[in-house]
Amino acid sequence: MRISTNQIFDQSLSAMLNQQAALSQTQNQISTGKRILNPSDDPAGSVQALNLQRELSLTEQYGANATAATNKLQGEESALKSAADILQRIRELAVQGLNDSNTQQDRKAIAVEINQLNQQLFSLANTRDSNGDYLFSGFASNTQPYETIFGAYQGDEGQRNLKVGADVLVETNDPGSAVFEVPIADTIITDNSLLPSDISVSVVGDSNVGSTFDQLTFTFTEDVLTPGVFTVEISDADGNTTTVDYEAGARLDLGELNTNFPNMSVSLSGTPVDADSLTLERSLSNIPQPIFQTISNFADALANDQVGPDDSPNNGLFLSNMSAALENIVDKRARIGGRINAIEQQATVNEALSFSLEKSISEISDLDYAEAITRLTQQLTGLEASQQTFSRVQGLSLFNFL
């Protein structure tokens, strides 16, 4: 085949230009470390990388959310831990104060300490986080949940959820109404005597703390043969009855007398008249009461020395109410612990996911340096060869010999 002189030039030139273009692409790849410089280098791969990048960015945001959630929950957890410690201490003081060996002065002193602790508890319920938001007011983060010890809860029921994983939402707060308020129990004694009398009933032992039971009626009947000697008929609303001899101050274990009765011990006292009766009932109020109010009421009763077994409502139940409040807070703490655990587990999952996403992205879009450098060397050799060939071929001309 005939070759024209220009063809020799053009071919060598375009060969060199092509090699330079390929070399420049390799050089760019090596200097950026990326295999895909433009989406068109690998359309499928670059779209996949976009999607993976989005997943990665989401997963990293879930990680940031998890940190925020953990911080919030740890704040709440430490407030609740302090609250539980304070409640525990108040309960100890209450036990001490209820001890009969105390004088009224002693009780006043204890009441003062209880009030101080109650104030601390109250301020814990109004804790704010680093942003100045109240921890225990639900969504109403700028509203002080309890304005006074006797005030009602001012916040709302909102629970803020944070997203710590795809479809994993974690609650990061609890409204104060669910933390610091529990239904309280009261024991109510009613004297049904026709004439004024000094009979009374008091609860002396109670293994059934905090629970309700049906109304119990104690009816005194004077022995017709032996005036001044009484029997007591104990009955409940279901018609279960048991009759015992009356002995003032004696301890009656109701659960042992009749299996239908609650497991508690009472003692009766005073001088009854025939047909006198007393009722004893314990109501569990359905309306929850802020614990500060319960404590404050108790402290007042303690200061006024009105904590005897005969005082109605019987402040002896304070202990069981305290237990219920403490139990509620401990339960909330346990749930927070559970949520923190769940977040930590999700964080582990997120980290593993991030790692594998980064690996996939790297596999798709990052450069295999060994391969690229081999390619670079190859292309350099090729280009040098083309250049040398060009100068050699161009040197050949018949005109050199004329």
Partner 1 sequence: MSILNIGTSALLTTQGALATTSHNISNVNTEGFNRQRVEQGTRIPDFNGGFFTGTGVQIDSVQRLFDQFLADQVRLFTSQQQQSATFTTFSKQLDDLLGSESLSLSSGMDSFFDATQAVADDPTSIAARQVMLTEAETLTNRFNTLDTQLTAANNQINLNLRAAVSDINSLAQGIADANRAITEAAGAPGVPPNDLLDTRDQLINDLSKLVSVSVVEQSNGVFNVFIGSGQPLVSGNTINRLATIEDPADANRLQIAFGANKVNISNQLNGGKVGGLLSVRKDVLDTARAEIDALAAGLASAINQQHRTGLTLDGNAGGNLFSLPDPLPADWPKGAAGAISVAVSNPRDLAVAFPVAVQTTVNNLGTGGLTVEAVNGGDPGFQANNVLSLPVTLTYNAIAQVYDVDQGGTSIGSFAYNPSTDSGREFDLNNVGLTTGLPLTIKLEGVPQTDDNFTISNNFINGNFTATGDNRNALALAELQVKKTLDPLNTGTATQTFGDAYGILVANVATRTKQAEAGQAAQQGLLDQTRQRYDAVSGVNLDEEAANLIKFQQSYQAAAQIITVSNTIFDTLINSF
Binding site for partner 1 (CB under 8 A): 1-7, 11, 14, 36-41, 43-44, 46-47, 50-51, 53-54, 57-58, 60-61, 64-65, 68-69, 131-133, 137-143, 155-158, 160-163, 166, 169, 173, 286-288, 397-399, 402
Chain-centroid distance, C-alpha 180: 14
Q: Which is nearer to partner 1, 128 or 375 (CB)?
A: 128
Nearest approach, Cβ of 285 to partner 1 (angstroms)? Answer: 10
Long-range CB pairs of 378-385, under 8 A, 24+ apart, other chains included: 379/19, 379/22, 379/23, 379/26, 380/23, 382/19, 383/16, 383/19, 383/20, 383/23
Ramachandran angles phi, psi of 212, nearest 5°: -95, 165
Contacts by residues 126-129 (CB-CB < 8 Å, ≥ 24 positions apart): 127/75, 127/79, 129/72, 129/75
The least CB distance from residue 123 to partner 1, in Å, is 20
Q: How far is the CB of 158 from partner 1 (least distance, A)?
A: 6
Bridge partners of 280?
189, 216
Q: Which residue, 38 or 304, is less far from partner 1 as judged by CB?
A: 38
* Those residues with Cβ within 8 angstroms of residue 361's Cβ, 6 or more apart along the chain or in another chain: 49, 52, 53, 56
Residue number with CB closer to partner 1 (6 or 259): 6
What 8-state DSSP symbol labels residue 366? B
Strand partners, 333: none
CB of 125 or CB of 307, closer to partner 1:
125
Smallest distance, partner 1 to C-beta of residue 19, A = 14
Q: Which is nearer to partner 1, 164 or 266 (CB)?
A: 164
CB 175, min distance to partner 1, A: 10
Looking at beta carbons only, is 267 or 360 nearer to partner 1?
Answer: 360
Residue with smaller CB distance to partner 1, 59 or 202: 59
Question: End-to-end CA distance of the chain, in Å?
Answer: 25
Give the DSSP letter of residue 98: H
Closer to partner 1 at the Cβ: 183 or 308?
183
**Minimal distance in Å, beta carbon 31 to partner 1?**
15
Q: How far apart are CA 379 and CA 385, in angstroms?
A: 10
**Nearest distance in Å: CB 43, partner 1:** 4
Token representation of residue 129: 């986080």
Facing residues of 191 across strands?
278
Gap between the Cα atoms of 88 and 86, Å rounded: 5
Nearer to partner 1, 11 or 212 (CB): 11
| Four-residue CA torsion sign, 367, 372, 373, 379 | negative
Query: Minimal CA–CA distance to 88: which of 332, 319, 337, 335?
Result: 319
**C-alpha–C-alpha distance, residues 356 and 344, integer Å:** 18
* CA atoms of 199 and 391, how far apart (whole Å): 129
Minimum CB separation from partner 1 for residue 212, in Å?
14
CB of 229 to partner 1, least distance (A): 47
CA distance 38 to 185: 73
8 Å CB contact between 242 and 182: no
Smallest gap from residue 106 Cβ to partner 1 (A): 37
Least gap, CB of 59 to partner 1 (angstroms): 11
Partners of 168 in beta bridges:
165
Residue owning tokens 């409940």: 236
- The first and second tokens of residue 135, run together, are 């921890």
> CA dihedral defined by 6, 12, 16, 18, rounded to 10 degrees?
80
Comparing CB distances to partner 1, the nearer of 79 and 114 is 79
Specify the residue, 18 or 192, whose C-beta has the smaller distance to partner 1: 18
